[in-house]
Amino acid sequence: MNYPKCLKSLEKVLQLKCFAQNEKAGSPKHDLIEKKMDRKEIGKMSGQEGLKELQERAVGYFCSRPSNFPVGRPYNCCESVLLALKDRLGVGSDLIPKIGTGIGAGVSLNGLLCGSVSSVALAIGMKYGRTSPEEDPKPVWNIVDKYVAQFEGRFGSVNCRQLTGLDLKTEEGLKKYFEKVHDYACVERLKFAVEKALEILLE
């Protein structure tokens, strides 16, 4: 499988390369894409430079095939966005990426809500969500509603089936997805999600 231009730009920032199916078994899954960032580093990030690095990080998680692909899969859209934003969200546990595993890829390949939408909704909840039923949920709903409208306005839909034009539960659909959509159109949606999420989290 040929890898797109989006990955070539990652090597300078993250020193990563995509895993091909014939890579040596047992290669570490995340060593090439994991670049730890402490809170001081996060504090120094600003403007477009900080945004670009977070976007590159998300794309790295999303595009890197593990050595046992296709049994193992790259991090899905929801997992990837949350992993890129993990330091911003102050989540130190393995809740991320676990919380996004079943939600991403249109809710487990069912063609439903895109993970680039659900991930941002989850991030908003982690940052601004309520801790008791007496609290008004409307402020969070309003933030999420605004993002959903922005995403739909940009890409025409919020659902995976409509966005990809494919049924990912079929062998043929999944094959076409990884060949022609995953590393291309989905990457643009991923970068949009990180951009808007960062704006929201910095408010």
pLDDT in tens, 14-38: 333 333 333 434 434 444 444 445 5
Specify the amino acid at residue 124.
I
Q: Give this prediction's pTM.
A: 0.78
> Mean pLDDT across the stretch 49-66?
94
Q: Which residue has the tokens 């022609």?
A: 180
Q: What is the pLDDT of residue 38?
A: 52
CA 80 to chain centre: 3
- Give CB contacts under 8 A, 24+ apart, made by 174-180: 174/109, 178/1, 178/70, 179/1
For the chain, the domains span: 5-201
Of 6-15, 53-62, 135-144, least confident by mean pLDDT is: 6-15
Residue 63, pLDDT above cutoff 90:
yes
Buried b (16+ CB within 10 A) or exposed e, 70-82: eeebbbbbbbbbb
What's at 168, amino acid-wise?
L
Given pLDDT bands bounded at 50, 70 and 90, which one contains residue 41?
A: low
**DSSP letter, residue 181:** I
